[in-house]
Amino acid sequence: MYFYSLPSIVSLCVAWARLVSSTQGSASTSAQQQHTHVANNSEFLSRQTHFGYTGATGPLGWAGLSPNNSLCTSGSRQSPINLGSWTGSPTVNPQVLISDGYGDFENLGTTVEVAAVGQTHFGGKNYQLRQFHFHTPSEHRINEEYFPLEIHLVHQASDGARLVLGAVFEIATNGATTPLVDTLARQIQQIATPGSKTRVYGLTSHELINIFQNHRLYEYYGSLTTPPCSEGITWLVAQTPLALDVGSYLAFKRVLKFNSRYTQNIPGKINLARIAASQMAR
């Protein structure tokens, strides 16, 4: 992901807005494969087609790909964001359960995803784990620093409430690793082609459970980081990076390449795309 200062992002948004105004109604249909961040028939769990991370179908063009994506450029609580001391933290950590064993590992064209079984209890509510997926480089930044990899564990409660647990990874220099990522990295070349899938065995989630239950977290209310950019998402992001083996990182990067949305404005503030539009109107 390219990480820009606010003026740089505004300049990009201005350029994008000019492009859209000259090509209205002719969104490209040659983008990447279908992408889902969960699998169900609700809005939160819907499949989105024809979006990517570069060019006209990249983040600056998402709103022009479908009327359902309007929040991508109008929403005031968009994700990802820069996290730091100004970000809230939960008073009580979540209780996390993730089933070990095996999972179906699929290349969706815009990420790789593992269909997972689990549950997180947070804020008096039970959330069912639907799946987890990866972004390289990280989508969230911590104190302006970005990281080579990020995992999102996507949950939904029976009443429709939505929760995502996120953690970034840092390259380890002391031999430490995260076995879950190492196991997936050894199999990821089997799903190098979008649409391919394989079953992976030997998945263990101890490190993930530990980081969310026993370490400090950031908490904020944001959005999906992919179209339709729906808001009302509770985000819990680990403040401490997980360990990442350099070989595992390279394996993920070769398949994922670049699949990160640019950093959004402070939650509650005007969308960066609207700032760009107002500059164009001057």
Beta-bridged to residue 106, according to DSSP, are 113, 197
Q: What sign has the CA pseudo-torsion 92, 152, 116, 181?
A: negative
pLDDT of residue 66: 94
pLDDT of residue 22: 38
pLDDT of residue 93: 98
Q: Where are any strands of DSSP class E within the chain?
A: 82-83, 95-98, 101-107, 112-122, 125-135, 141-142, 149-157, 162-171, 197-203, 217-223, 231-238, 242-244
pLDDT of residue 63: 95
pLDDT of residue 279: 79
pLDDT of residue 280: 75
Torsion angle (degrees, nearest 10) of CA 92, 214, 166, 13: 70
Low-confidence ranges of the chain (pLDDT < 70): 1-49, 281
pLDDT of residue 276: 82
Contact in structure between 67 and 224 (CB atoms under 8 Å):
no
pLDDT of residue 113: 98
Rounded Cα–Cα distance for residues 226 and 67 (Å) = 14
pLDDT in tens, 49-103: 589 999 999 999 999 999 999 999 999 999 999 999 999 999 999 999 999 999 9
Residue 26 in tokens: 């002719």
Query: In a 3-state reduction of DSSP, which class is residue 279?
Result: helix
Rounded Cα–Cα distance for residues 191 and 104 (Å) = 11
Residue 40: what are its φ and ψ, rounded to 5°? Answer: -165, 180
Residue 136 in tokens: 């390289």
Rounded Cα–Cα distance for residues 209 and 213 (Å) = 6
Domain ranges of the chain: 6-280
DSSP secondary structure letter of residue 193: S
| CATH number attached to the domain at 6-280 | 3.10.200.10
Contact in structure between 166 and 235 (CB atoms under 8 Å):
yes
Q: Report the predicted TM-score, pTM, of the whole model to 2 decimal places.
A: 0.84
pLDDT of residue 49: 52
pLDDT of residue 165: 99
Residue 277 in tokens: 């539009």
Alpha helices in 114-242 (DSSP H): 179-187, 206-214
